[in-house]
Structure 1
Amino acid sequence: MEKLNYVIKEFNRLHGSEAKARVKKVEEDEVILEFEGSFCATCGLYDYFDDIKWGAMEFGLKIEPVEV
C-alpha cells in the first residue's frame, strides 16, 4: 500500500492542475481509484490512466484499467 500511495502522490503532483487520483477501495488484489478534475482536452483521457500504470510499474505494481 505504501508504494501505491507514493504513485498516487506523484501522479497528483504531476497532474494536479488537471486531474487528481485517490484510492477509493482496496480488496485483495483489486484497487479502485477515483479520478476527478477538468482533464486536459488535448490529451487523451486514457493517457492519465497510462501514466498511473507506468508509474506503478516502476515499483513492481501491476495496474490495469478494467472499467472507466
Structure 2
Amino acid sequence: MKVEKYSLKDIALSAVEAYNKVRSPEATARLVDVRDDEGLAVIEFQGSFCLTCGVRDWVEDYKYVLISMGYEAELIDYLEPEGEEYKRVGVFKVKSV
C-alpha cells in the first residue's frame, strides 16, 4: 500500500480551506509563508473577529484544524501587526509531516 506524503504547503492550504469553510466571513485565514526546514506555517487571519474578545482563540483554532487532520501542531507565535486593526498572524509548528 502506497502512503502519500504531503508537503507542508499542501497541508497548510488544506487546513486554511477547512478553517475558512467554518469561520469565514468573521475570520478568514490566508497562507503567508511556509518554512519547510523549520516545519513552520505562517497564517494571516483577517476579519471582524479582531474586534471581539478571545481574539487569540480564533487564531489558535487553526491548530485544532491541523490536529483534526491528523497532524501535531502548536501555535508558537501570535502577532498583532502594527496599524492593522483587522489582522492577526499566527506561526504554527507542524509535526508529523
Distance 1:7 1:31 in 2: 11
1:14 partnered with 2:22: yes
Instruction: Name the CA distance, whole Å, in 2 between partners of 1:9 and 1:31.
Output: 14
Bigger CA radius of gyration? 2
- Number of residue pairs aligned between Structure 1 and Structure 2: 67
**Is 1:63 matched with 2:87?**
no
Q: Which structure dedicates a bigger proportion of its chain to strand? A: 2
**How many Å separate the matches in 1 of 2:19 and 2:46?**
12
Output the TM-score relative to the length of structure 1: 0.79
Q: What value does the CA root-mean-square deviation take over the aligned residues?
A: 1.7
In the superposition, the TM-score normalised over structure 2's length comes to: 0.59
2:52 aligned residue: 41
Give distance in 2, aligned partners of 1:65 and 1:12.
Answer: 18
Q: Which consecutive residues of structure 2, in runs of 5 or more, have no partner in the other structure?
A: 1-8, 79-97
